[in-house]
Amino acid sequence: MSVTEMFSHIQGFLSADQDIREEIRKVVQGLEQTAREILTVLQSVHQPSGFKEIPSKCAKARDLFCTVKTQIGDLKTKFPVEQYYRFHEHWRFVLQRLTFLAAFVVYLESENLVTREEVAQILGIEVVREKGFHLDIEDYLAGVLIMASELSRLAVNSVTAGDYNRPLRISNFINELDSGFRLLNLKNDPLRKRYDGLKYDVKKIEEVVYDLSIRGLAKESESSGDK
């Protein structure tokens, strides 16, 4: 094979790779749009009247996750299954955002931490790497950390809405989450930086709870809850 033929062959490989990446980008753009729509639906819970609408907003978000499943199903067809990590960079951030949205929905519904398996089921993907398109453990953890920031905001807005007990429950949840992350030896730089943000979320929520306590609102809420 001549040098010219060799480089022509290489160019053919590069062109095919670029075509795959372009197809992936198109599908990912659709996923990003759906993620924005889900976020828009869930953002309304931060409004003073939003807490009463949590069940309906979560139901609407779950309907939109059906669209996500379809879009991810399309994405799976755009590249060889064994080359997941070769193209992972294209959907990594949107997958983390979708994980955050799924985690936020589950928290709003049950005030529990979503499992990696539950997120995978909501998105229509796998947990086990060998089975194909899957939820990488670091993407799952990143999504959970994004949710923590959203909960710190929810704690503040709960007070504005007159729901003084919710920040206490959020505080307990976030402290448990922080304890869980402390057990991990995080070597992924972006993930470690996100975890550093969790410390600020914990502090922010503690300040909200402390403010409620010194104003006597937390005790009043607990007493009315006992009644």
Q: What is the pLDDT of residue 220?
A: 46
Last residue of a domain, one of 109, 135, 161: 135
Same domain for 53 and 94, yes or no, is yes
Residue with tokens 């997120």: 119
Contacts from 109-118 at CB under 8 Å and sequence distance 24+? 109/54, 109/55, 109/58, 111/169, 111/173, 113/144, 113/173, 113/176, 113/177, 114/144, 116/140
Q: What pLDDT, on the 0 to 100 scale, is given for residue 76? A: 94
Domain boundary residue among 135, 165, 189?
135
Letter for the amino acid at 102?
A
Whether residue 55 is found in the same domain as residue 23: yes
Q: How far is CA 47 from CA 13, 50, 154, 156, in A?
A: 52, 5, 9, 11
Domain that includes residue 61, residue range: 1-135
Confirm or deny that 150 is annotated as ligand binding: yes
Which segments in the chain show pLDDT lower than 70? 218-227
In which element (H, E) is residue 163 found? none
pTM listed for this prediction: 0.90
pLDDT of residue 13: 80
Q: What is the pLDDT of residues 203-227, one digit of tens each?
A: 999 999 999 988 887 654 444 444 3
